[in-house]
Copies of this chain bind each other. A is one copy, B any other.
């Protein structure tokens, strides 16, 4: 299967398929006589694994770890679970941080009349000195 087809069936752009190869997430595929990459069903499955992991917010580095475990028949499920739960915690922290920003911003905006006068507590709030 050519790279275009692999891209279509996995939703991974050709650019990123080549990138994953370069950084070692994907093994160098077979090449046809003309130099075109030729992907096996196994490679496509691996691409899908990467795409799914990206959709769950894993970094390429974390995905390298997951692929290593996937490839390793001696892995223990606890190793996998550890990586997954650590990432879930990370996601939770990041979501909470964004929510905290949102809440602080809404607090500021609450006092803003939003009419055509220039006075605005949002701007004055942003200009104030804040702890750290």
Chain A positions within 8 Å of B, measured between CB atoms, are 11, 45, 48-49, 51-53, 55-57, 66, 69-70, 73-78, 80-82, 84-85, 87-88, 91-92, 94-96, 98-99, 101-102, 104-106, 108-109, 112-120, 122-123, 125-130, 132
Q: List 11 A-B contacts (CB under 8 A).
A: A48-B128, A52-B125, A69-B120, A75-B120, A77-B116, A77-B117, A77-B120, A81-B109, A84-B109, A91-B98, A91-B102
**Which 10 residue pairs are nearest across A and B when measured between Cβ atoms?**
A95-B98, A91-B102, A77-B120, A81-B114, A76-B116, A11-B132, A57-B101, A78-B114, A95-B95, A80-B120
* This chain's copy number in the assembly: 2
Beyond A70-B127, A76-B115, A88-B106, 5 additional pairs, beta carbon < 8 A:
A57-B101, A69-B120, A84-B108, A87-B105, A95-B96
